[in-house]
A and B are shown apart, each in its own frame.
Chain A
C-alpha cells in the first residue's frame, strides 16, 4: 500500500500495462518529455522509449485515426486527448471508425483502443478545459465509456480498459487528479471488480444517489451532512456509463423508493435522463418520487468565475434529496 494521487495511480497503471504487454503504445500531445500537461505519463517515455510513448503532432483526429491503423496492425494504443473540449476534432474518427469497426469487420478487426480524456470542471480553467462530453460517447454503439472516481479504481480501471478488446473512452476527473488514497500498486486486475459494474460506495435507506467521476466525492460529502439530519443516502458510483449498470441502481431504488442522479454534464439528454427513463420503467411501483437530476445547465460551460454556480455541489445535491423526500 502506498498513499497515491489519482494522477500517479493512472501513471502506475499505464506503466504496468506497458510492462505487461509489448503491444501497448501510448500516444498523445506532450505525453513524452513533458509527461503530459497533468504529468499523468511522467517518466514513461524515458523508460519505454519514443517508439512506445509517442509525442504526436498537434492533431487529435490524427492521433485517434493513426491509433485505428495501429489497432488493425495488432497494437493496443492508449491515446491521450489533452482536454475534454479538444476531443471534437477526433469525434469523427471515434464515432465513424473506432466505434463501428468491429461490427463492420464482423468481429475480425477489433479496436482495442483506450482514449483517455481528462474531463470536468472546478479547476478555474479557460474555455474548453472543463467540459463533460461523456454522453456523446455513451450514445454511440461500439464504444465503452468508464470513469474512475478515486485512485484505487483509477489504477485498476485504466489497466482493465487497456486489456479490453473493445474501444474504451476513459474519462479522468481532472479535479480529482490530486485526491489521495492508499493504493496497492501490486494488485492484479484479474481480482479487481469489472470496470463495467457500478458499486455502492455508501449504503443507506432513504434516497439513492447515483453519480460518477468527480461527483462521487461531492455526493459522499453530501451523504455525511445528510446523515447528521437523519437522512441516509445510498451513494452509487456508476463507474461505467456504457454499459450502464441499471440492475445495481434498480435494486437500490427498490429499497429506497427514491433516486437522484448527479453529474457535471448538462442534464438535458444526459446520463441522468437515461437512468431516469430506465428506472421509471423498471421500478415504477417502487418509486415514491420522480427521479430527479442534478447537473450542468443548458448553457456553454461558463467563465470560470461562475463555475461554482454551474457545477453541482453539496447543497444542490441535498436540495434534490429534500425535494425527492418531499413527494
Chain B
C-alpha cells in the first residue's frame, strides 16, 4: 500500500501550496471563497485544540480530535447544498462547522450534558453516531426517502477506514447500489483505527472496494481542500442526477490521538507524524493564498484574532453549560406515555424530594 496515496490520488493543491490541475476534477473559486475556506480550516482547528485543552482541564469527559482532517471535512461540507443531508461519525467537527452547528453544541455532547446536541432537521445534519458504521445505513435510508419524495438533493455519509470492515457499511454499499440511492460515501482514511493500521482493515486501496459493489470510487488527497471540494461536488452532482452512489476515499492522517483517552506513542512512530506535518492542509492553502496574492498579512492576522475570540467564548460557554435536571433522563425515552417510565420517574422524584431542601 502506498504511503503517499499513489498516482491515483486526486490533487489540486500540492503540499507545497502549488496549484496543479487534474484532467477530471477542478474548482473555480473566487478569492473570497478561497479565503473563506482558509478561515473555516483555521477556526475548525481552533475549536479542536480548544476542546482538547478543555478536556485536559476536566471540563469535557472526552474529545475526539479532528486535527489533520480539516480539509477533508471542510472541503466536503462546503460542497453540500442547503437541502443535502450529512451523516457524521463523532469526529466530523469540520462538517458540523459547515452545517452551522455551533461548536458549543458539539462540546455539550463530550461534556456529558446531552447524548445529542443539536436539531438535526435545523442543520440537515444527523447527530453524531458513536457505534462504528451504523450511520451509513441511516444515510442510505434517508437517501431512499429523498427518492420517494422526488427530492433531487443528496446525502453525504462519513466514516473512517476502520468502519469499512463493519458489516453495516458493506450492507449500506449494497442497499445504496441496488436502489441507486443518491448518497455519497465519504471515507476519511486517516490510516488508524485507534491502534490498528490500515493493513488490519484491507488488502486493497479502500476506494477500490466500490468496484465490487458496482459504483465508482475515487481517492482524493484529503489534506487538499480544493481537491476534496471538487471531487465531492462531482459525486453529489452525480447522485442528484440519478447516477447513484460514489465512494470517496479521502487520504489523510489522524495527527492527534484517537481520542483524549488514547496514547498513540504506544503504536506509531514519530517519523510518520513528521512526514504528514509537511502535508498540513492549512499550511498549503496559506502558502497558495499568500503567493498568489489572494490574501495578505492583514487577512491572516484577522483570522487569528477571530480564532482567539472564538476560543475564549467557547471556553466560557463550555464552563457555563449547566448540568441537566436529574429527572430529565426520563423525558424522551418514549414520545408517548409509557407506564414503566412514568412509574419510575414518580418514584425517582419522590426519592429526591425526600431529602432536606428537596434536592439530592
Contact = CB atoms under 8 A, between A and B. Distances in A.
Interface of A: 25, 51, 56-57, 59, 61-62, 64-75, 77, 89, 92-93, 96-97, 100, 102-110, 141-142, 144, 164-166, 196, 242-246
Contacts of B267: none
A92 to B, nearest CB: 7
Contacts of A61: 137, 167-168, 171
Highest count of chain A CB atoms <10 Å: which of B121, B333, B341: B333
A141 B330 CA distance: 10
A66 B175 contact: yes
A243 B137 contact: no
Given A59-B171, A62-B172, A93 B137 contact: yes
B142 interface: yes
B206 interface: no
Given A106-B331, A106-B332, A72 B175 contact: no
B171 A69 contact: no
B3 interface: no
A259 B143 CA distance: 50
Contacts, number: 139
Interface string B121-164: 10000110101001011111111111111000000000000000
Interface residues of B, number: 43
B126 A242 contact: no
A103 B175 CA distance: 27
A166 B336 contact: yes
Contacts of B114: 106
A73 B332 contact: no
A174 to B, nearest CB: 26
5 contacts: A62-B171, A66-B175, A69-B87, A73-B141, A93-B168
A65 B120 contact: no
Nearest to B146: A73
A104 B335 CA distance: 12
Given A69-B87, A77-B141, A166-B336, 11 more contacts: A56-B175, A59-B174, A62-B171, A65-B136, A68-B137, A72-B141, A96-B131, A97-B134, A106-B114, A106-B331, A244-B340
Contacts of A67: 141
Highest count of chain B CB atoms <10 Å: which of A69, A141, A242: A69
B194 interface: no
A142 B172 contact: no
B22 interface: no
B178 A72 contact: no
A51 B148 contact: yes
A142 B334 contact: yes
A245 B340 CA distance: 9
B134 A93 contact: yes
B140 A69 contact: yes
B141 A105 contact: no
Contacts of B136: 65
B175 A62 contact: yes
Contacts of A73: 141-142, 145-146, 149
A102 B137 contact: no
A242 B333 contact: no
Contact of A166 (B137, B142, B145, B334): B334
Contacts of B172: 62, 65
A51 B143 CA distance: 13
A185 B126 CA distance: 40
Contacts of A97: 129, 131, 134, 138
A109 B174 CA distance: 26
Contacts of A164: 336
Highest count of chain A CB atoms <10 Å: which of B120, B143, B339: B339
Given A56-B175, A105-B127, A70 B145 contact: yes
B115 interface: yes
A293 B131 CA distance: 37
Interface in B328-358: 331-336, 338-341
Contacts of A69: 87, 137-145
A109 B141 CA distance: 14
A4 B142 CA distance: 37
Contacts of B148: 25, 51, 75
A106 B147 CA distance: 27
Nearest to B344: A141
B272 interface: no
Highest count of chain B CB atoms <10 Å: which of A57, A65, A93, A196: A65
Contacts of A93: 134, 137, 168
